[in-house]
Amino acid sequence: MVSAGLATLASCNYNLERAVLGKNVMKILCIGHGAVIHIVEIDPVVISASIHAMGFPSGSVMTSSGVRAVSKPDLMNEVLWKGIHERLFLYESDAENFILNTTNLYDIVFIDAYDGEDIFPRKLWDPHSPFLNALGNQVHPEHGTVCGQPSCRFRYHE
């Protein structure tokens, strides 16, 4: 669905590169929210900023033991996120550790991860990495899709 939407935008001369680089704001509407979404973020500062500056529901943050950090959302989060926050899970974790330790099977995986120097971590694209080997087992065998950041340029040297 996302790929078809992006391909359609590109075929209509929408400048996807400017959107990816943050020079155009892309507005996205999702009608229906039946998905269960797992988010993995390694940086606790990003998680805190998401909650405090962008309104991400604090009740969706998970502890390292896999339970919600806040057992019951506050009234504002309950009103704003009713029905959504129950299917949204934010894990503070390294992506590789998360994938190596999960038993979830995903229909679609979006990868948009950079280290502190805006470099896409090698372990997330190296074809011999434990991450990619495990990820291959965590996407649905018939229709599973992995989407990487469109602006990434991958090079692999033997």
Average pLDDT over residues 15-44: 71
Distance CA 111, CA 146 (A): 7
pLDDT band at 130 (very low <50, low <70, confident <90, very high): very high
Q: pLDDT, tens digit, for every residue of 70-106? A: 877 778 777 777 777 777 888 999 889 999 999 988 8
Count of CB atoms within 10 A of residue 146's CB? 14
Task: Check whether 31 has a pLDDT greater than 60.
Answer: no
What was the pLDDT predicted at 101? Answer: 92
Q: Which helix (H) or strand (E) holds 100?
A: helix 95-101
Q: Which of 40, 35, 38 is nearest to 1 (CA)?
A: 35
pLDDT band at 33 (very low <50, low <70, confident <90, very high): low
Task: Check whether 155 has a pLDDT greater than 50.
Answer: no
Distance CA 147, CA 7 (A): 13
Q: Which of 67, 50, 125 is nearest to 95 (CA)?
A: 125
Computed over every residue of the chain, the mean pLDDT equals 76
Q: Which helix (H) or strand (E) holds 39?
A: strand 37-41
What was the pLDDT predicted at 17? Answer: 78
Q: How far is CA 56 from CA 37, 61, 127, 148, 149, in A?
A: 13, 9, 33, 23, 22
What was the pLDDT predicted at 4? Answer: 55
- Which residues fall within 8 angstroms of residue 20, CB to CB, at 6 or more apart? 149, 150, 151
